[in-house]
């Protein structure tokens, strides 16, 4: 029996059609062009004609702060009259599941008498091991950046995070986790009573400035932070997280501009 050619170039038309079938090509060329690279809608997507379509400008859903856990964390934080009491309250707090997978509760570092307070997102692996914020590569970069305007955690700055426990795999904290921990960091700020707040990274900035705007829009200008129990707002600067700078060193110039604004304000209020 003659062996049929499977070469689509040299074979006859029946060989070509058989070869197309073998490789899974079963649809003929249509009359209209088709962009096969275009992202197709998920087969799981269900559209409800009674509901308005969501757009890219829709705000992120707010976490309802009425759960018993969030109410409990607010009450615990409000009852703390000193920084030491707050530290112990957070160590004893079992309402956040992140504590179950963390090695240490990471509370703060630096001078608690400082008038400049820096707030990041959450501990990473190095911070979880040592129990101090910003001690890994990003923390070392933060120290060098702050030194450029004569700031040091051993002298004139105080550092903490929105979240006191490392999220597994260094993932971004969930809205619920942030809502549970937000009363503690807000009380922390009230007790330290800094003159200037520096919010490092998008999670910190969005949480404490109560906005859905991204860090690119928030950085480079002054904001105000104020809780219901504070008499006066605190001047607040948002800037990029040093971990982002490690991935995008070209953005260091933007952080330098932010810090020059901080230095200018320090000089204005007698902190420099």
State pLDDT tens for residues 28-55: 544 444 454 454 444 444 444 444 444 4
Residue pair 185/155 in contact (Cβ under 8 Å)? The answer is no
- In sequence order, the β-bridge partners of residue 235 are 196, 224
Question: How far is Cα 166 from Cα 249, in angstroms, rounded to an integer?
Answer: 25
The structural domains of the chain, ordered by start, are 68-268 (3.40.470.10)
Q: Give the separation between CA 29 and CA 39, rounded to whole angstroms.
A: 20
Of 58-67, 88-97, 138-147, the poorest mean pLDDT is in 58-67
Mean pLDDT (whole number) for 151-156: 96
The stretch 111-135 carries a mean pLDDT of 98
Residues pairing with 244 in the sheet:
none
* Residue whose pair of structure tokens reads 């707002």 in the numeric block: 233
The answer on pLDDT for 246 being more than 60 is yes
pLDDT at 68 (0 to 100): 84
pLDDT of residue 56: 42
What's the CA gap between 6 and 230, in Å, rounded?
81
d(CA 196, CA 208): 13
Read off the pTM.
0.76
3-class secondary structure per residue, 148-163: CCCCCCCCCCEEEECC
Band the pLDDT of 236: cuts 50, 70, 90: very high
Residue 233's pLDDT is what?
98
């Amino acid at each position: 029996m003659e062996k049929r050619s499977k070469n689509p170039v040299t074979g006859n038309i029946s060989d070509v059609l058989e070869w197309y079938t073998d490789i899974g090509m079963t649809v003929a060329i249509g009359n209209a062009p088709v962009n096969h690279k275009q992202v197709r809608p998920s087969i799981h997507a269900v559209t409800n004609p009674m509901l308005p379509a969501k757009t890219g400008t829709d705000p992120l859903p707010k976490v309802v702060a009425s759960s018993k856990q969030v109410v409990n964390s607010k009450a615990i934080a409000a009852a703390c009259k000193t920084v030491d009491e707050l530290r112990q309250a957070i160590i004893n707090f079992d309402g956040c599941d992140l504590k179950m997978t963390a090695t240490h509760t990471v509370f703060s570092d630096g001078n608690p008498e400082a008038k400049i307070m820096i707030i990041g997102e959450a501990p990473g692996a190095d911070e979880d091991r040592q129990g101090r914020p910003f001690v890994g590569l990003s923390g070392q970069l933060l120290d060098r950046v702050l030194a450029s305007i004569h700031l040091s955690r051993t002298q004139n700055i105080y550092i903490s995070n929105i979240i006191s426990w490392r999220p597994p795999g260094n993932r971004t904290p969930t809205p619920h986790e942030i809502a549970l921990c937000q009363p503690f960091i807000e009380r922390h700020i009230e007790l330290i009573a800094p003159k200037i707040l520096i919010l490092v990274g998008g999670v910190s900035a969005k949480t404490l400035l109560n906005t859905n705007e991204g860090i690119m829009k928030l950085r480079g200008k002054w904001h105000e932070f104020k809780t219901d129990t504070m008499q006066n707002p605190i001047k607040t600067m948002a800037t990029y997280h040093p971990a982002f700078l490690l991935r995008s060193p070209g953005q260091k110039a933007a952080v330098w501009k932010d810090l020059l604004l901080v230095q200018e304000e320090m000089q204005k209020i007698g902190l420099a």
